[in-house]
Amino acid sequence: MADEGDRSVLRAILGRIGVWSFALERQRAATERDAAAEIEALGYPVIWVPESVGSKEVFSQASLLLTATSRIAVASGIASIWARDAVAMANGARTVADAFPGRFVLGLGVSHAPSVEDRGGAYVRPLTRMRAYLDEMDAARYDGPEPERPAPRLLAALGPRMLELAAARAAGAHPYFVPPEHTAFARAVLGPDPVLAVELTCVLDRDPTRGREVCRSFARRYLELPNYFSNLRRMGFTEQDLVDGGSDRMVDAVFAWGDVDAIRNKVTMHLDVGADHVAIQLRTGDPTDLCLPQLRELAPALLEI
């Protein structure tokens, strides 16, 4: 169980605004290193990276990014518990935390049934499996020296039971693909102390038709996943809101699109209702686009929040 000291450390590591990126894993290592160095130079305190079925292995990628930089932290959003056993997860985190003190955050989660099945596993009783997995991590043998500053843990969490587990067994929660209404809900379930680090997908485009279409092209695959679909239904969206990339109402709630002020306003909405940290994921129509010009344009407005 994380204590308030762990949570204070995590808040200091994350700051208020971070950068969440799928595009980094689509790059050659040299390009990825250069991009991380630029994101650090812009002043963002943390880079979040995923671990989907086809992703770069998360501890390897984190080490690559941390080696290319000197101050910025890296957070896994999320390391899948089905990708490695609990001993490997615990000891991978220990290894990276020892090499880069105070610069690695372990976000872990149960992923989704299709991804688990693609790995050859069975997505059975995910909450029960996560609880047992955390027990196994805590009991894992490690023959190396313990890091002076262990990597804080966050759990990917949407529903109330996983949020409750995050409050009890981790430093906090990392919801993904959620509107501000969910952030308020998550804060109420977590209570005041756990860290709430929310992902927010953003499209820096002032044209409503083009901006919403980029959002919809990204949303389509998530709306096919029961966890996200059910969570948005819990938030009051109808089934009609959640087909073919989503209604305007859904897109405008879950995403931030428009100019710099529009994106800043949506970030502030999440912070105002309980988020400690918002990780912005910039998107265009190209999944390999690192969106560095957009990150440059947004930095002065967001990093002063």
Question: What digits encode the pLDDT tens for the residues 9-53?
Answer: 999 999 999 999 999 999 999 999 999 999 999 999 999 999 989
Cβ contact 90:120 at 8 Å: no
Q: Which fold has domain 4-204+275-302?
A: TIM Barrel (3.20.20)
**pLDDT at residue number 122:** 81
Identity of the residue numbered 62:
A
Say what the pTM is: 0.97
Cβ contact 225:177 at 8 Å: no
Is the peptide bond between 39 and the residue preceding it cis, with omega within 30 degrees of 0? no
pLDDT tens per residue, range 94-130: 999 999 999 999 999 998 777 777 777 888 899 999 9
How sure is the predictor about 263, in pLDDT bands with cuts at 50, 70 and 90?
very high
DSSP state of 23: G
Per-residue pLDDT at 214 exceeds 70: yes
**pLDDT at residue number 1:** 61
Structural domain spans, the chain:
4-204+275-302
Identity of the residue numbered 116:
V
**pLDDT at residue number 181:** 98
**Mean pLDDT computed over every residue of the chain:** 96
